[in-house]
Every structure is written in structure tokens, then in C-alpha cells.
Amino acid sequence: MTADFDRAALIQAAIDNQKRSYAPYSHFNVSAAALMGSGKMYLGVNVENASYPAGICAERNAIFHAVEEGERKIVAIAIVGGSEYTIRDYCAPCGICRQVMREFCDPREMKIILAKSVTDYKELTLEELLPLSFGPDDLA
């Protein structure tokens, strides 16, 4: 399933969901759509807080929702972001989000889609974004 999924639908879901972002401080609105091994998609947005560390990134929001529903394998995630709900450039996940992704995937297979639109995107594996990663298999 890794290579065979509807990238346009995943990207469009992230774009459509961006309006739900809560970013009154940075005004940088991020949305993510995570496709899980079951084929189900989970959405997340960044949610800021006046106490900055209490906020959460869109990617972790989507992944944690999926995990709460019993999902354990991320196939792909589409990420969009930009100031004042306007997507101008590719929006890469932060280091913490990359590490959380690593917990629930094979980094050689999981696809990360950084999108400006459904036709303008970059696709990378988690291994490309997080080389020499530390994960669950290191603790076996």
C-alpha cells in the first residue's frame, strides 16, 4: 500500500483542514493528513497556547488521534502550512514530529508529502528526513 495511494486526496484533505488550525501567536497555520495502514486517514492541525510549550504540531495531532483509535502504522502523511492560512512554500515537519513518526513506521517506506497544492509537492521517505534514526527496533 505504501506506493499505491491517492496522493491528491491526502493533500487535498490537509489543505481543506488547514482552516481549523489555531495559531493566534505565530499566525502560521499547519495541517496534516496521515494515512494509516488500515487505509483510514486522520487529520490534525497545529494548536497553539499562550504557554507556548503546551501547544501541539499538526503532525503529532493527527498521529496521536490515529494511535488513540488503535492505529499503529503510518503509510504516508501530507503536510501543508503557511502564514495566515496561505500556502506559499513546502512545510517540513519539526524534529519532534519526525521522531514521533519514526515510532509508527518503517522509515524506508513511509512517505512524507510536503505540498503547496495537489499538483505541486515534494515526496520523501522518513529515512531521508531523519537519517540514522533511533526507533523501537533499537530497544529490542
Other C-beta atoms within 10 Å of 21: how many? Answer: 23
Query: Which residues, 6 or more positions from 66, have their beta carbon under 8 angstroms from its beta carbon?
Result: 34, 36, 40, 42, 74
DSSP H or E stretch at residue 76: strand 74-83
Q: Give the Å distances, CA to CA, from 107 to 54, 111, 118, 130.
A: 28, 8, 23, 8
Backbone phi, psi, residue 89, to 5°:
-150, 175
Q: Which residues are catalytic?
A: 59
